[in-house]
Amino acid sequence: MMRLRHIEVFQAIIDTGSISGAARQLNVSQPNVSRVLNHAEQQLGFALFERRSQGMSPTLEAQRLIPEIRELYNRLQAISALTEQLRKGEGQTVRVGAAHAFGQMILAPALVEYRQQYRYVNVELVTEHFQTLCQNLLADQLDFALVFGQQVSGELVSEPLFHSSMVALLPAQTAVSGPVSLDWLCQNNLLMMQQEDPLGHVLHRALRDKGLQPANSLYIKTYSVIADMVLAGGGVGIVDLFTARRYADQLRVVPVAQPLPFEVMLISRRDRPQSQSTLQLKQVIRTRLWELARQCEVQIHVGQ
């Protein structure tokens, strides 16, 4: 019975016509090639080559083997090439979705880092709201998504990555440096998230628990729009750490006295295996998220 190593050596000798040539082609020593050839001949019970002064000549039995071995050898080469492509991610596409708040602060630098490490992998990025991202996952249009924590359907699986508390955005000239209460925020024209939003749900529940309701508040779906409204003098807002950090040099960012917890998760289809390229991108995003979150908490002094 011929083993794969026997076949490699046999084909190398056929290609080069000598033990030394086969050794160079396989990048091994000549004694190594000779040992493998001798072992193959012992296993088969007949000689494969005649040793002549001008080189190695295949025996009649070997000549009958050549077409079959060449076909198998070519298949082995194809398998080797394919495994190398898979290792590098060549021709693969990772489809990632994200909540809008993660697009610039986390995914932009994470994707730059990922492309530097895995330049053969294509990446498709979609930023959308939570419900749309879940729908895209269920329709198999995304491999995974980075979202704020919320209950997902049984067809999806979530991987918690990080948790913290939301913070308040105030106009830069506001003479407040410490934590602000929900009551104070409502009195200063709190710009509201929509109730069905993952973070909006937490905020609305906290306000209901305290019997608070902002007067004539706007209900805004995108966190960066809340920050832009505060910047334009439209009131005060509550957002996540990552949105707040984008505006930290333009607005005053302070903790909220009442904890408003949020969680960051990776969600994906429960029934879909994930490629090596997808797992590698998820790890880059996970590392980048934690690095940025630590910077945000130090800068904004959440909980202090």
pLDDT value, residue 302: 44
In the numeric block, the tokens 């409204």 are attached to: 229
**Quick one: pLDDT at residue 86?**
65
Supply the pLDDT for residue 177.
75
Q: Note the pLDDT of residue 36.
A: 93
Quickly name the fold that domain 4-88 has.
Arc Repressor Mutant, subunit A (1.10.10)
The CA distance from 303 to 165, in Å, is 8
pLDDT at 300: 65
Domain 93-163+263-300, architecture per CATH: 3-Layer(aba) Sandwich (3.40)
Return the domain boundaries, the chain. Answer: 4-88, 93-163+263-300, 164-262
| CATH fold group of domain 164-262 | D-Maltodextrin-Binding Protein; domain 2 (3.40.190)
pLDDT in tens, the chain (304 residues): 788 899 999 999 999 999 999 999 999 999 999 999 999 999 999 999 998 877 889 999 999 999 999 888 888 887 777 676 666 655 678 899 998 888 878 888 899 999 888 888 888 999 988 889 999 999 999 999 999 888 888 899 999 988 889 999 999 999 887 899 999 999 999 999 888 888 999 999 999 999 998 877 778 888 999 999 999 999 999 999 889 988 988 999 999 999 999 999 999 999 988 888 888 898 999 888 888 877 777 666 543 4
Q: One fold for both 4-88 and 164-262?
A: no
- Say what the pLDDT of residue 303 is: 37
